[in-house]
């Protein structure tokens, strides 16, 4: 059972800094933060939980970046079809370059 799922930190135990209550879609569970000493989460943060321990902080920024990359993928597909309709050669390369520049802009923002 090597499942790991995301949960949101609700509160950190007053008498034990390593014990936290997390919320996973409305289910609350007590987990151990002992493996995140170098990167202590605070209430509101998201963590990845595996066998009752937080393994890693989940970066909302990285997740958002990933989602926008994925959405752009869909747009690339649409753009591809349009451009191919014009009979342009090397369309793939052109579109990829445009997407790459979009991705770098998203990261900077």
Partner 1 sequence: MREGSTREESTTTPAAMSVESAPVRFRDPQIEMAHGAGGKASRKLVEGLFAPILFGGNPGPLGDAAHVDINGTRVAITTDSFVVKPLTFPGGSIGELAVNGTVNDLAVSGAKAEALVVSYVLEAGLPTSILEAEVRAMAKAAREAGVRIAAGDTKVVEHGKADHMYVTTTGIGRLIPGVTIDPGSVRMGDKILLSGPIGDHGITILLARGELDLEADLRSDTRSVLPLVEALIGAAGPGLRWMRDPTRGGAATSLNELARDCGLGMVLFEDQIRVRDMVRGACELLGLDPLHIANEGQFLAVVSPEYSDAAINALSMAPGGDEAQVIGEVREQPAGTVLVTTLYGGSRIVDMLVGDPLPRIC
Partner 2 sequence: MRFVDEFREPELISKTAEEICRIAGEERHYRMMEVCGGHTHAIYRFGLKDILPENIELIHGPGCPVCVLPMGRIDDGLSIAKDPNVVFAAFGDMMRVPGTQGSPLEHKARGMDVRIVYSPSDALKLARLNPEKHVMFFAIGFETTAPSTALTMMRAKAEGIRNFSVFCNHVTIIPAIRAILDSPDMRLDAFIGPGHVSTVIGCRPYEWIAQNERKPIVVSGFEPLDMLQSIVMLLRQLRAGEAKVENQYKRVVPWEGNRAALKAMAEVFQLRPYFEWRGLGFISQSALSINDKYAEFDAEQRFDVPGIRVTDPKAAQCGEVLKGVLKPHQCKLFGRECTPEHPIGALMVSSEGSCAAYHNYEHRKAVMVSLSSIA
**Per-residue contact string for residues 79-98; x = within reach of partner 2 by CB under 8 A:** -x------------------
CB 31 within 8 A of CB 9: no
Stretch of residues binding partner 1 (CB under 8 A), selected from 24-32, 55-63, 77-85, 90-98: 24-32
Backbone angles phi, psi at 27, to 5 degrees: -95, 130
Q: Around Cβ 90, how many Cβ atoms within 10 Å?
A: 9
CB 43 within 8 A of CB 51: no
Q: Kindly list the residues in this chain that would bind partner 2 in the complex (CB under 8 A).
A: 1-6, 25, 32, 34-38, 46, 48, 50-53, 55-56, 58-60, 62-67, 69-71, 73-74, 76-77, 80
């Amino acid at each position: 059972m090597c499942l790991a799922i995301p949960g949101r930190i609700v509160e950190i135990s007053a008498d034990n800094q390593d014990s936290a209550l997390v919320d996973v879609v409305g289910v609350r569970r007590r987990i151990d933060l002992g493996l995140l000493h170098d990167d202590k989460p605070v209430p509101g943060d998201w963590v990845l939980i595996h066998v009752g321990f937080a393994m890693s902080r989940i970066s909302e920024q990285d997740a958002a970046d990933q989602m926008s990359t994925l959405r752009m993928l869909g747009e690339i597909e649409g753009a591809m079809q349009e451009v191919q309709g014009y009979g342009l050669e090397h369309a793939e390369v052109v579109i990829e370059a445009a997407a790459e520049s979009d991705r770098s802009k998203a990261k900077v923002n």
